Amino acid sequence: MNRTPVVLIHGAWLHALSWQSWIDRFTGRGFDVVAPGWPGEPLTVGEARRPSATLRRVGLDVLTDHYARVVRSFDTPPVIIGHSVGGLVAQHLLGTGLGRAAVAIAPAPIAGAPWAPTLTERVVHSSPADSPEERAPTVSLSAEQFRECFANTVPEEESSCLFRHYVIPSSRRLLSDLGLADGGCHPRRTVDTGNRRRGPLLLISGQEDRMVPDSVTRAVYKLYGDSTATSDLKQFPDRAHSLTIDSGWRTIADHVLLWLALQDIHGTELS
């Protein structure tokens, strides 16, 4: 029996430890799960909150190439599951023919989809510096901003707990590459949505998400309309951007497991 590999990719402002519940859940179903951090990401949240020369150099090119190497390292093509920026990377990799299947949860929008960064743009541009050149190379969220942007559907006590356990600064270079600062469209936001040979794709949105609105994910789903490859969309009501880490995470994870089973992808398979 072979164990099907799964690669988990976290998004901006979260640490790789935010996937621990998913690792346990998918491992219990027979999958071989890894959740590698971003290049240079420290092993603990406390360390990651300290100034890091490595983290500040992480842009979308570096991030995408990093996870492409991880995906290629398996003898069997893995399932790629990404949240937020990780969902964008997962789609890009799947579009290039990497991976067996992909799940993009509240994904940062690919090229061609509208971006509605009402709250995120305010966070990215909030800096005491007088010019873009003087801005800090990383962008941090306060507990209040995290609750407003990420965890707006959970109790304040839960939001505070999530912030303490998982939230770290993010690279301003990466946020700029995403179009959250200074505009433009980075080449790594481009996805071959017409690729008919790629593996199946599941897009997931939270209908109360303020970071990546449900309308953005629906627009991304429509971009896949010309492909005959499997493309599915699941919308969760009353869920925000914290849907992978808050107390309702199991509902999302179990839907992904069910969807994988419908694609005939299981944790252990005959060799």
Do the bridges between strand 268-269 and strand 2-3 make them parallel or antiparallel, or are there none, so unpaired? antiparallel
Domain 2-269 in this protein, CATH class: alpha beta
pLDDT (tens, 9 = 90+) of the chain, 271 residues, equals 789 999 999 999 999 999 999 999 999 999 999 999 999 999 999 999 987 656 777 999 999 999 999 999 999 999 999 999 999 999 999 999 999 999 999 999 998 888 765 545 555 555 444 334 445 788 889 999 999 999 999 999 999 999 999 999 998 889 888 876 545 678 888 899 999 999 999 999 999 999 999 999 999 999 999 899 999 999 999 999 999 999 999 999 999 999 999 999 999 876 6
Strand partners, 205: 235
Q: Contact 115/107 with Cβ under 8 angstroms?
A: no
Distance CA 236, CA 129 (A): 39
Region at 21 (left for phi over 0; alpha for psi -120 to 50; beta for the rest): alpha
Could you tell me the pTM of the whole model?
A: 0.93
The CA dihedral of 167, 171, 175, 178, to the nearest 10 degrees, is: -110
